[in-house]
Structure 1
Amino acid sequence: MSKKDEDGILMKVKKTVDFELLAEEYILMREAEVSKYTVNSIRRTLKHFLTCFDDALTEKSLKLKALQFLSGKNNEHYNKQLQALRGFLQYCASEGYLEANPCAAIKYKPHTNRIVQHSEEVIRKLLDAPDRNTWAGLRDYTAMILTLDTGIRPNELIQLCISDFDFANGYLYLRERVTKTKQKRTLPISDVCVSAIKKLIHYRHANWESQLVFCSWRGEEITTGDLRDRFRAYSKAIGTQITPYHLRHTFALYFLRNSSKTGVFALQKIMGHSKLEQTKNYVALLDADIQQAHQTASPIANLLGRGTGKKKAVLMKI
């Protein structure tokens, strides 16, 4: 933005920065580019950031404030929030409200692969925990079944509509707007899962206007936070910490264990991983399983491992 001084020379005029207004503009722009879940995540991050510092934000202090805001967060949370801040401040800079993006030099932390494994016993206990005589309990049980059958992400699950299911052919179609990667995805679903989804839909209230499958007892939208809260209660009941995302991990591991290793490519498509490296994290865990099985079952381990002590005793006598 510029104006002319008395001699007609162009002068740069600094724009007044209303970060809250700019945040709303930025979010509206991102809505056309990313999933609803990602938009909501950006909105929460920016709201929290701007609320924390309120009127104390200046161009010079933004980098320090951002570092303070990110301090103490685990790697995954840190990276998500840094990404939101960098994108927003880059937008501010491109619009001429900042000289440069103050977060551009802040580096992301190394990605930590936190794949959680649960035994069949724990999974069975979890499936028995919801009270299926209530709508919320039946919904939670069905969400568990669908996640274990397809590896669907929690934020994808809560956006599913009745029309997304093809029960006759056994498929679930994820729309672009629903997926994290903005790519359509087709998920095969088993007969058991089809029956569970049909039952949940059957018990929907006739007056509900929403077509969401996994909704509240009033037919309203639920959040991933709502699901996590429900799982906290189930975790307490079964004595094991477990989250909706853990079931996605469980699906991936069981899928690979029950298929050949070439199944990693099928798993990549089902899970919606943009890079094969993400899927290979699960293969690495299976390699650990194989190593453990080898230690237990190897003939040489049996012959020279457990029998070593006895053979040594014989040699000592000689």
Structure 2
Amino acid sequence: MARLRSIKPTAGNRTDWRQLLTEFLAYKKLEDGIGQYTLDDYDRTVNLLFKRFPNAWDSEQALKDAVMEHLAQDIAPPTFNNRLVYLRTFFKYCINEGELSTNPLATMKKRKTEDRAVSVEVDVLNALLTAPNQNTFVGLRDYTLILLTLDTGIRPSEGTKLIPQDFSASLREIYVPAKVAKGRVARTLPISEATTKALRKLISVRAPEWDDNIPIFCSYEGRPLNRHTWGDRVEIYCKKIGTHLRPYDLRHVFALEFLRNGANAFATQRALGHATMEMTRRYVALVNSDLKAEHAKASPVDRLIKSTKAKRNTKV
């Protein structure tokens, strides 16, 4: 637990926010076991606030004014919600440490986000899969990670941390360890024959000097592949084929197609690694919306009624 300091209402006696942030990140890593990407997001979000408002830590009123102006920017709802959650959690820690008496974001609500249906045509996905040059290590790596994501819905942050021991060619499975999984719950994902073949090929061309802790999806020098670099790689391929997709969109494609092709919601939840059904229900709702749209276009009853009305009008 965080150690409690005495309340320090005057700016001159308060601990510097940078020191608090360092302690906060260490606390989150030890107590909550969150991953490095999330820690980096906390660090970046808090630093951005104080970069824009250097005097925000001078007083609680100055902090409140700065936070309100910071969140009043014209930003997308997901960006707003991320800033809100990260800053509110940091301020809560500051209260526990006795550095703040109130949380300026305690009652602030998230903005409503629209469910983003990522429906991609088969020919676009085929073009994306053929874009990487599989004659190079980097191209083969990119092809295999695209294929794995479309096959399992694995998160980019999970896929890039997998090591060779997490892959079983004989069982055609990928194991996502708890330390890699976003929700810290391990899961095993079945994979197709094509994905198994691609993974076997990628692992077979690894440098002989690399040990088993080097990730499957690494740079040609054996360095870990982070989500930002992976995002840049996908963007290069998308520009090449004239489309726009993010790495996470491939996860959405898997979820929607998995459901459309007959998988039930519980199987989808397990595959995606959702802790609750809340996120999975969004995909189900999108698929149901697809069904409604198709029904509106192809309902036999609508066609029969229209045909009957047309005949009646002809007789009149």
Normalising by structure 1, report the TM-score: 0.88
Helix, strand or coil at the partner of 1:57 = helix
1:132 touches 1:138 (CA, 8 Å); kept in 2?
yes
Which of 244, 253, 258 is residue 255 of structure 1 equivalent to? 258
Are 1:179 and 2:181 an aligned pair?
Answer: yes
User: For 1:118-129, what aligned pairs fall within 5 Å after superposition?
Assistant: 118-129=120-131
> What's the C-alpha RMSD, in Å, of the aligned pairs?
2.2
Cα distance 1:102–1:314, how it changes in 2: closer, same or farther (>3 A)? closer
Deviations for 1:173-230, whole angstroms, at most 9, x for unmatched residues? 2122212212112211122211111111111222335521111121111221111111
* More deviation, 293-302/116-125: 293-302
Deviations for 1:105-130, whole angstroms, at most 9, x for unmatched residues? 32222243223111111111111111
Helix, strand or coil at the partner of 1:173 = strand
2:26 aligns with 28
User: For 1:28-107, what aligned pairs fall within 5 Å after superposition?
Assistant: 28-32=26-30, 33=32, 34-58=34-58, 59-70=60-71, 71-107=73-109
**Greater C-alpha radius of gyration:** 1
2:266 aligns with 265
User: For 1:236-247, what aligned pairs fall within 5 Å after superposition?
Assistant: 236-247=239-250
Letter aligned with residue 314 of structure 1: T
Helix, strand or coil at the partner of 2:54 = helix
Cα distance 1:151–1:103, how it changes in 2: closer, same or farther (>3 A)? same
1:282 aligns with 283
1:252 touches 1:267 (CA, 8 Å); kept in 2?
yes
Are 1:199 and 2:201 an aligned pair?
Answer: yes
CA distance in 1, matches of 2:42, 2:35: 11
Which of 135, 138, 143 is residue 136 of structure 1 equivalent to? 138
CA distance in 1, matches of 2:9, 2:68: 30
Cα distance 1:301–1:102, how it changes in 2: closer, same or farther (>3 A)? closer
1:15 touches 1:97 (CA, 8 Å); kept in 2?
no
Helix, strand or coil at the partner of 1:60 = helix
Are 1:109 and 2:94 an aligned pair?
Answer: no
2:45 touches 2:83 (CA, 8 Å); kept in 1?
yes
Helix, strand or coil at the partner of 1:303 = helix
1:16 aligns with 14
Helix, strand or coil at the partner of 1:156 = helix
2:149 aligns with 147
2:237 aligns with 234
CA distance in 2, matches of 1:121, 1:254: 15
1:309 deviation in Å?
7.9
1:312 deviation in Å?
5.5
1:8 aligns with none
Cα distance 1:200–1:72, how it changes in 2: closer, same or farther (>3 A)? same
2:133 touches 2:139 (CA, 8 Å); kept in 1?
yes
CA distance in 1, matches of 2:35, 2:113: 22
Helix, strand or coil at the partner of 1:45 = helix
CA distance in 2, matches of 1:148, 1:17: 47
CA distance in 2, matches of 1:107, 1:272: 26
1:35 touches 1:182 (CA, 8 Å); kept in 2?
no
CA distance in 2, matches of 1:102, 1:52: 17
CA distance in 2, matches of 1:47, 1:213: 32
Helix, strand or coil at the partner of 2:119 = coil
Normalising by structure 2, report the TM-score: 0.89
Deviations for 1:40-97, whole angstroms, at most 9, x for unmatched residues? 2112212222333234532221122122223222111211121111111111111111
CA distance in 1, matches of 2:192, 2:92: 45
1:313 deviation in Å?
5.4
1:310 deviation in Å?
5.1
1:146 deviation in Å?
0.4
**Which stretches in structure 2 are left out of the alignment for 5+ residues?**
none
1:146 touches 1:152 (CA, 8 Å); kept in 2?
yes
Are 1:299 and 2:297 an aligned pair?
Answer: no
1:12 deviation in Å?
8.7
Cα distance 1:293–1:29, how it changes in 2: closer, same or farther (>3 A)? same
Are 1:220 and 2:220 an aligned pair?
Answer: no
Q: How many residues are paired up?
A: 305
1:288 deviation in Å?
2.3
